[in-house]
Structure 1
Amino acid sequence: MPVGYRAIFRIAPNQDAVDVAESLLRGWLREKLSKNRRGTLSTADWDGPGVHVLGPAAELTVIHADHESDASKRRQYRFVETNAGGTWSVSIYGLALPNSRDHTQTLVIEAGLEDVDESEAIIRVDPPRIARHLLETFDVRDGQTVLHGSPKKIRSADADEIYDAIADPFRTASVIVAVSPGEDLDDRWTEVVKSLTRQSVGVATAFVVSAAAYPQFSALLPASHAVKPGEVRTFGPRAVLTDSNDSYKHRILGPATLSRSIRGGRVQGHLPNVHAETARLRFAQAELPGDIRRSLEIVSRAALLSDRSREVEDRVRRSIVEPTNDGMDDVSPLPVVPSSVKPAVDFERAAGPGLLARLGLVMRRWLKRDSVDVESVEALDSMLTWKSEEVAVALEQLDEAGREQSELADRVAALQQRSADLELDLAVESARVIELERTERFYRERLKEAKRFDDLVVATDPVEWGSPTSVEELVNRLTDGEGEHQARQFVEFTGPIAKALEVDKRDNLGRYAKLLWEYIRVLHDYASLRSSDSIAGSVHMYLTNDDAPAGHKCAPSNHASTESDPVLNTPAWRRERVLPVPDQVDSSGFVLMDAHFKISSRDTFAPRMHYFDDTANSGKIYVGYIGRHLTNTSS
């Protein structure tokens, strides 16, 4: 079952992780009793290892993997429930390792959803309530950083706590910092941030900086890592505050994007899921710390043996058929009788001395019995049945392990290919940068020779044209709402937002968003020049014409004015490129968008941005698609 949520909780050494896990679990299950609102369980009672049925479609499996030699306790509590939304699981691992050198008491909580892929599980699986209960009840730390169940409001005297959390080199959870936009909004802002971070419980700790505390807080951070009023910034692990380039790792959610999702004083829609996704994925995909990995392997082996024994027992029970005499009247009875009864049949004559002696050896070898009687034969039959089913179950488990191994190998191969693709992209970009630097040096020397020193000064981009940190922010700039950007005067996004957000999942540093924004600027300047009749022709002509008026441009090789004939002549592929536009552009609400910009050509994802040039009519360009490379001969 794909893991959609995983969090690690290190608690104080004077606590017992197993006792904490069981206490929290019992309380959580009681909340789910059918007598409570939205409850589904018939009972919340269970005791000891094994499988416990708690409701019509709910069961709890408890696994013990304790070792007396080192007084360690490793337990798994796996709750599985099926409802209209699917089959859901929550696993709680209690790891009490009193002789461990570093972490003696740890809990791990996982949640998953059956029959979906990992990316969908990350979106659909909410953090279990038990995770918030744990954080609100116990002192939980990640490195030296305290994890909170709800955003902690920071006053002036507490500003250092945020700095210490951001700079903590040992933390693995994210640190979310939200600065209040104004003193009279502190309380409302706290509620907004609480609703925004509800999907980040356990994988991040959040701080709300009050307006009064902002001066003290802002003085602690360099400008590159600053958080402004109204912004929410997520600091990932291993932040290097002395390196300005490190700031790109720590994303900012701006007030315009945030405000678009606030309804009734709470953040609604998909934004909480998207905001939490990077941190959730990191915990779900990253290699576990060594102590936890080893403990979970021990528990996994114990669970495998438990599952095998339970399955064998069930199969043996189903295979037992009570003997009858139907149709057996003419069959001579087996010449084996209870040992307490004198045989009515001469075994030596009926079975032969060799067979009987051999049967006696079998009994002594496998059952440690000296007599050949009905009880011994039945015991031998039971043992053989058990072993036969045990072998069958073990073979099935090996087959399943083989399939999982094959899937993992495929994933590793795909990741290796993607790594190779990215390395090639990097090599191409590096070569381009070297050539651009050479060209720059050439022209700078020419300008110096001509004593045109004023022309050596390169003006900085206006602040409003700064690159977005995510594709989501880019889309918000080009659609209706408070985040609307001046670029929307000429460029409008009309495509499916969900497809665009998939690009963010592939790019934690926002590189794709920056490149896409460069292409948006190309389209904006092209459309602006068209509106003033400064140029004529298509986007590609604008990019390839060195005599065109000054405007933002990109390398012509990053643009395609149309698709190949095989794509346009294949109905299914062509339909993928028929994308939405306003009704005033086309009465059907759709047009073919074969022109597109290319971010990368090295992998099957290879993001694309398809657009329709309507500058001759509405004066605008409509971007109908940002996302994974649409189907073609190579995908």
Structure 2
Amino acid sequence: MTSDRSPSPAGADLPGLRGPATPYRMTVTTALPHAEAVALADEQLASWLKQEGCEEPPPAVGTVPGTAVGAPPAAERLRLGERVLLDRDLGPLRGGPGAGRYDRRRLRTPAPHGTRQLTLTVATAVGGPTWVRLEAETHNTGSGVRTPCRVPVPELARTLLPLLDAADGPAAVHPAPRVVTADEVDDLIDELCDPERRLPTVVASVPVNLPVDHWVEEVVRPLCRQLPGLATAYVLDPGARTAFNVALEYHTVYGGAVRTYLPEVDPASRQDGSRHPVLARGRIEQDLRRAAGLLAREPRRLAADQPLPPPLAAVPVLRVPPPPVRPAAEPAAEPVTEPAVLAHEEQQDRAEQQARADELERVRHTLRLERRDRSQTRDGHEGRLRTGSRGALSGRHCTGPGLVPTAAPTTSGTGPTTAGHRADQLSGCPGKPDTFTELLSRLGEFPLLTFTGDQKNALALDGLQCAGAGWARLAWDGLTALQEYAEAAVRGAAGGDFKQWCEHTPEGCHRFPPRKAVRGESRTVFSHTKWKRERMLPVPEGVDSSRRAFMGAHLRIGGGRTAPRLHYLDDCSGSGRIYVGYIGLHLTNTRTN
């Protein structure tokens, strides 16, 4: 008997099943090793089965003894009660030997008018994080049976999230909303803007003069009841609300409202603000249960539409062992099909299922690219409108994303490169690089920036699967903003340091998020001998005779405690240049140590 593998419609191999209700799909990462994550999931699944009065499954086999490289994955089917089936399989990811491995559990249990299906998949690529995906679906049989609008959040999701220390990029995925204080606003904004984030982030505000604890327990927790595993949820206390709304002037939330921040937030874009829906306090208090359903609608849609991460997309379709062959002594009621024919038919069926699953992934990727293109077109139009509505700025036009300066003064000698020369460089260049390999090869496009660091630290970032192309693009944004700042600074027109430039970026210039521009390290880091030595980075002898300088100023080019940083030295007032001494994973400090 063959069967489906999500994302193809569950139940496709079960005759008589009607269309499914809106499924539940959770996709997170965990820092646990693959084997530990599988063991933990098996333990929780067995505990839930016991509570439901089903037989506990025997321990799963962690390896396949004697399995040759390239052999089909190991699979087994267990019957744990009346209409209760547990399919288990494990094996290598598609992509050849060394690509990684997966373990999967699919549980089918009876529902009042059909079948419930729960699929848990753990996949780990070589050198990458462990991905965990949990899917719950319901299928009804017979005609005239009303299908529920959505499958509820499985209890297994609520128990697994804290045990796995589940994460979504830089954010911890908790089963319940967490209160944020003013000191934590920067970290929250980093999460919202981080390119690795896949899940929506729900941020709730508290009405003025109402106790935070009361609002959280009576309103926010019930409101977020359908969100575990589908979104991260936070509640702003009064101090955090003020700091948050000052920093995100186009994406504010206040007065008891709740806002859903979709991935790829652009704090500098007024147009982008309309992308992130707001649920008003009045609608919440009018019908809390209905409001909870409305709040979960967008996270459910995003979970269904988003392409799978590469390790999960490389999991093959489920292969269920065929039923046992009857003994030869028993007379057969009908001719027995040759085993070779059965094997060939099974192989064809699995190939068709795999093709359908791969095609669905391609459709998801295409739709995602189309949405991104529309967003970039919208942002480019917004930028052109701003450019057309202003005059020249300090004798020149700064460049925004995809724009070229329209006028520039000329300079001569060894002074800074002119904006006109900058325009000539940019006009023939492709867009933002997707890898650090490409980024390093194009550093010549920034005439006032000099990279003095070790390229190996930056190139190593390309090998981290979880980074995708987001880190390289964000680093490029930072370098572009640094170049524009340097052009103004050498003329004495920057109006402060780079942090102030980011906070008050002149219209038309490329804006880098101020929260990601850090002036310097903490006193603890500066006074710690080893940590300070890590930040003593190469500079020319003309800048410092020791050919080393402390580079505490840095850009956050990725979220989280250990995500990449770009360290630099601003020497515009001296040599007229900015020296980038390090691009790589977060250097050691109190958090990473």
TM-score, normalised with respect to structure 2: 0.50
Larger radius of gyration: 1
RCO higher in structure (CA 8 A, sep ≥6): 2
> TM-score, normalized by length of structure 1?
0.47
Pick the structure with more helix per residue: 1
